Amino acid sequence: MRVLITGAGGMLGQALGPVFAAAGHHVMPLRRTQLDVTEAREVDLAFAELRPELVIHAAAYTQVDRAEAEPHIAEAINRFGTAIVAEVASRHRAPVVYLSTDYVFDGTWTTPIPADAPVAPINAYGRTKWQGEEVVLALQPEAYIVRTSWLYGAGGPNFVDTMRQLAVTRPQVRVVTDQIGSPTWTVALSRMLVDLVATGAYGIYHASGQGSCSWYGLAEAIWAQMGYTTPLLTTTSDSMGRPAPRPAYSVLDVSKLEALRIPVPTWQSQLTDYLSLPAG
């Protein structure tokens, strides 16, 4: 299948291309410098030239805290850029995979959140990603809306790599204990997406690491696997003073994927696989 990937230069985009290629697809990865999704003419021309049979829309504004100060920029990319991609994909009869986020929820759940749960974003980033979900469903119903959480991987800033750096450069490291979620490796997510698009079962899905932990728990696991001795201390979200509020609980229920017999590895096994790779 001819697969066009938007945002191919991002952390997730860099993982998607090799995984889909390894599965036998003809991958056409486009970075932001090659395709600005907010420019309708650029999107039109790209589709006309490349003739994709599937679009993985990974292009997104993902700077959660900056979005509070510049929501118009986040909306331009996550809502209006997504609308352009979805509309052109519909005209070309190309199904869309739209990558969304656990941040469409407000954090008040206490059990894993099902894919059909009502959304209630509490920050600008989450709101604009939810708007992106809505426009995809309206403009190209042949779509997979895939929410994921706590992504990390090669090729972009992420919590796991930040912790590895701090562990060897700081005298101590503080990490919050009052946010609970499911860490997800970009490569593992990409593999789940390969399996999902093979089913042809359009709809809304949750895809993340199986299980849950706090950010502190994730850091503890990194420390244990890497043998770090730097003191690891607890703190709270309030003490961090970040502009954007985060959901306190955003564990995603992945049972809808499992019902399709799609393997969902535990967050611990995903982390082990990632940390076993050569650094850099």
Strands (E), 126-255: 143-148, 151-152, 173-176, 180-181, 184-185, 203-206, 213-214, 232-235
| Residue-wise pLDDT tens digits, 70-121 | 999 999 999 999 999 999 999 999 999 999 999 999 999 999 999 999 999 9
Contact, 186 vs 151, CB < 8 A? yes
Helix (H, G, I), strand (E, B) or coil at 189: helix
Residues 249, 109: Cα–Cα separation, whole Å: 6
d(CA 89, CA 91): 5
Q: How high is the pLDDT of residue 178?
A: 95
The number of C-alpha atoms within 13 Å of 227 and in the hemisphere containing its C-beta is: 1
Q: Which residues pair with 235 in a beta bridge?
A: 176
Tell me the pLDDT of the chain averaged across its residues: 96
Taking residues 171-181, what's their average pLDDT?
97
Give me the mean pLDDT over the 190-210 stretch. Answer: 98
pLDDT at 6: 98
DSSP letter, residue 276: T
Q: Which residues are catalytic?
A: 125
pTM score, whole prediction: 0.96
Confidence category of residue 278, pLDDT binned at 50, 70, 90: confident
Minimal CA–CA distance to 74: which of 194, 196, 244? 244
**Dist CA 203 CA 259 (whole Å):** 13
DSSP of 38-86, one letter per residue?
Answer: T-HHHHHHHHHHH--SEEEE------HHHHHH-HHHHHIIIIIIHHHHH
Q: Residue 280 pLDDT more than 70? A: no
Percent composition of the chain: helix, strand, coil (DSSP 3-state, to 5): 45, 20, 40
Q: Delineate the domains of the chain, giving CATH numbers in brackets.
A: 2-149+184-210+251-268 (3.40.50.720)
108 contacts 92 by C-beta, under 8 angstroms: no
As a whole number, mean pLDDT of residues 180-186 equals: 98
Q: With bands split at pLDDT 50, 70 and 90, how would you rate the model's confidence at 242?
A: confident
Longest dimension (CA), the chain: 56
Interatomic CA distance for residues 118 and 254, integer angstroms: 16
| Residues 30, 205 contacting (CB under 8 angstroms) | no
* Strand residue runs (E) in the chain: 2-6, 26-30, 54-57, 96-101, 143-148, 151-152, 173-176, 180-181, 184-185, 203-206, 213-214, 232-235
Residue 241 has pLDDT above 90, yes or no: no
- Reported confidence tier of residue 69, pLDDT bands at 50, 70, 90: very high
